[in-house]
């Protein structure tokens, strides 16, 4: 039932409002019309806001409608009057893009205020247009929780100055995305952005990787090579997992930070560079010290400005918004309409502990979008760990040896992937957690064709 109206005395006099109700909402239509001072007019009259009375049976169909709006890049103009909806259903609708909601009957007195507020937002949005859009290099940093917004608010100020920045946070919290935002918001945005994971480079090659080398500096150095510092000239160098740098290399980095000069491996010539350094670590500052193999003087040089990124457990209120962001990104990546989250799926996401933080959420959503057959993503489509332990039973003619080898292979692959995900693709840290030497761990990765870069920070300026 759709009843658009707009009498002169209506709170929405300048902007027509339509009312729609499913079976659960039909008894409420008259009261809503009276509350708003609306009268029934032609049902095909255009409306700038849809006041939708929604009961539990209406949620799935409304989610599909909202998905269609998103697919056509149409603005969502729905205000929900909720009848017997739980928090998960309301969160799913907010995640799908409704303007706002109120509960009936408890919030009926607020109806006119909510309508005016929604219409005002829509009107101001139409007038200001792009002025309300977030900066393009902040769009990938999604969330409204106080813990996250407090850190996000620092990025423009950090970008305006040229001091070194230290970004701290667990694996998967978005450290590289924040570093990229600082770079692209800064006066250096037109110059190179160069990122390196210090833990991924062998200790004996890290200096050559950072500062370059001349021909003949070491075995296989058949030609001179510019290092990452040289590549980043005028721009920003991002040192992820900086605490993995060998102690000897830390001294050379310290000199570069102090003097803005460096010497390529095997060269006697000093080179100068204009490069801003942003570093990151998944260890707390109190754990970065000489006792743990990290120079305090280097720490002081790096830690002029600091960001502390919260874990996803500390910003659970952002899960629905992040899930929607990753749904849309996955749909665009694979050129298919992104499915909508059902309330049950959202409940499953909200109940998870997220040890892998935002990275894990992105991977879970991407996997679900790939495997989801329809337009609605339900709880059954959410798989947190690739379903470990679900190896098929052996066939009647499979030998004990073959069955055991298959199960062991499945375990090895899942175990290695889990450790790499937990340690952000850092082979050294994953091998230490497995209590295996790095070479043996790498051989297992090669055996199962596991690429560590798939587990490194995927936000890349996009979560």
pLDDT for 88 beyond 90: no
Q: Domain residue spans in the chain?
A: 17-132, 146-308, 312-381, 400-455
Q: Do domains 146-308 and 312-381 have the same CATH topology?
A: no
Bridge partners of residue 79, in order along the sequence: 51, 100
Give the 3-state secondary structure of residue 424.
coil
pLDDT for 5 beyond 50: no
Q: What is the pLDDT of residue 6?
A: 36
| Mean pLDDT for the stretch of residues 168-188 | 94
Q: What is the pLDDT of residue 258?
A: 93
- Contact in structure between 183 and 277 (CB atoms under 8 Å): no
pTM of the model: 0.61
Q: What is the pLDDT of residue 41?
A: 38
**Residues 304-329: tens digit of each pLDDT:** 999 999 999 888 888 888 998 898 88
Q: Which CATH class is domain 17-132?
A: alpha beta
**Residues 28-68: tens digit of each pLDDT:** 776 777 666 655 533 445 566 777 788 888 888 888 777 77
Q: Which long-range contacts (CB under 8 A, 24 or more apart) does 332-336 make?
A: 334/369, 334/370, 336/369
Q: What is the pLDDT of residue 222?
A: 61
* Confidence category of residue 458, pLDDT binned at 50, 70, 90: very low
Residue listed under structure tokens 């002169």: 8
* Confidence category of residue 4, pLDDT binned at 50, 70, 90: very low
* Confidence category of residue 70, pLDDT binned at 50, 70, 90: low
| Mean pLDDT for the stretch of residues 287-309 | 84
Does an H or E element contain 309, and which? none
Q: For residues 350 and 86, what is the distance between their CA atoms, to the nearest angstrom?
A: 14
Provide the mean pLDDT of the chain: 78
Q: What is the pLDDT of residue 270?
A: 86
**Residues 427-438: tens digit of each pLDDT:** 888 888 888 887
pLDDT for 422 beyond 60: yes
Burial class (CB in 10 A: 0-12, 13-18, 19+), 298: buried
Q: What is the pLDDT of residue 186?
A: 92
pLDDT for 380 beyond 80: yes
Q: What's the fold here for domain 146-308?
A: Rossmann fold (3.40.50)
pLDDT for 213 beyond 60: yes
| Mean pLDDT for the stretch of residues 370-391 | 72
Q: What is the pLDDT of residue 302?
A: 93
Does an H or E element contain 179, and which? helix 175-185
* Confidence category of residue 221, pLDDT binned at 50, 70, 90: low
Q: For residues 408 and 387, what is the distance between their CA atoms, to the nearest angstrom?
A: 15
* Confidence category of residue 212, pLDDT binned at 50, 70, 90: confident
Burial class (CB in 10 A: 0-12, 13-18, 19+), 376: middle
Structure tokens at 381: 């489509």
* Confidence category of residue 84, pLDDT binned at 50, 70, 90: confident
**Residues 259-287: tens digit of each pLDDT:** 999 888 777 788 899 999 999 999 877 67
- 99 vs 380, higher pLDDT: 380
* Confidence category of residue 195, pLDDT binned at 50, 70, 90: very high
Percentage above 90 pLDDT, the chain: 22
- Contact in structure between 308 and 146 (CB atoms under 8 Å): no
Where does 312-381 sit in CATH, by number? Answer: 1.10.8.60
| Mean pLDDT for the stretch of residues 83-101 | 76
Q: What is the pLDDT of residue 2?
A: 39
* Confidence category of residue 216, pLDDT binned at 50, 70, 90: low
Q: What is the pLDDT of residue 11?
A: 41
């Amino acid at each position: 039932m759709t009843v658009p109206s707009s009498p002169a005395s209506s709170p929405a006099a300048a902007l027509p409002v339509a009312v729609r109700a499913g079976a659960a909402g039909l008894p409420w239509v008259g009261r809503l019309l009276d509350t708003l001072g609306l009268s029934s007019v032609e049902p095909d009259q255009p409306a700038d806001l849809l006041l939708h009375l929604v009961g539990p049976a209406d949620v799935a169909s409304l989610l599909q409608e909202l998905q269609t709006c998103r697919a056509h890049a149409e603005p969502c103009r729905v205000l929900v009057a909720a009848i017997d909806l739980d928090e998960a259903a309301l969160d799913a609708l907010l995640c799908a893009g409704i303007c706002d909601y109120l509960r009936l009957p408890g919030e009926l007195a607020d109806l006119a205020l909510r309508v005016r507020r929604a219409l005002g937002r829509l009107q101001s949005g139409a007038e200001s247009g792009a002025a309300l859009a977030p900066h393009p290099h902040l769009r990938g940093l999604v969330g409204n929780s106080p813990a996250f917004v407090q850190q996000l608010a620092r990025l423009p100020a950090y970008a305006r100055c040229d001091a070194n920045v230290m970004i701290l946070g667990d694996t998967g919290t978005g450290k590289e995305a924040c570093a990229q935002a600082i770079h692209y918001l800064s006066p250096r945005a037109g110059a190179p952005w160069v990122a390196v994971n210090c833990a991924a480079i062998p200790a004996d090659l890290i200096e050559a990787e950072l500062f370059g080398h001349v021909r003949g500096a070491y075995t296989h150095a058949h030609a001179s090579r510019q290092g990452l510092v040289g590549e980043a000239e005028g721009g920003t160098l991002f040192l992820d997992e900086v605490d993995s740098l060998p102690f000897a290399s830390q001294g050379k980095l310290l000199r570069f930070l102090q003097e803005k000069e460096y010497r390529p491996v095997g060269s006697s010539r000093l080179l100068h560079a204009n490069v801003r350094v942003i570093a990151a670590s998944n260890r707390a500052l109190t754990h970065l010290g000489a006792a743990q193999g990290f120079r305090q003087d280097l720490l002081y040089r790096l830690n002029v400005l600091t960001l502390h990124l919260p874990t996803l457990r500390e910003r659970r209120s952002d899960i629905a918004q992040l899930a929607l962001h990753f749904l849309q990104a996955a749909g665009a990546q694979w050129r298919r309409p992104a499915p909508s989250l059902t309330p049950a799926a959202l409940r499953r996401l909200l109940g998870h502990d997220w040890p892998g933080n935002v990275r894990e959420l992105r991977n879970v959503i991407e996997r679900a979008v790939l495997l989801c057959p329809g337009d609605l993503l339900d709880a059954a489509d959410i798989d947190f760990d690739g379903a470990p332990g679900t190896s098929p039973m052996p066939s009647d003619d499979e030998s004990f040896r073959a069955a055991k080898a298959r199960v062991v292979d499945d375990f090895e692959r899942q175990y290695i992937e889990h450790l790499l995900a937990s340690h952000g693709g850092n082979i050294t840290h994953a091998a230490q957690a497995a209590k295996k030497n790095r070479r043996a761990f790498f051989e297992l990765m090669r055996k199962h064709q596991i690429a560590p870069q798939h587990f490194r920070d995927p936000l890349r300026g996009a979560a």
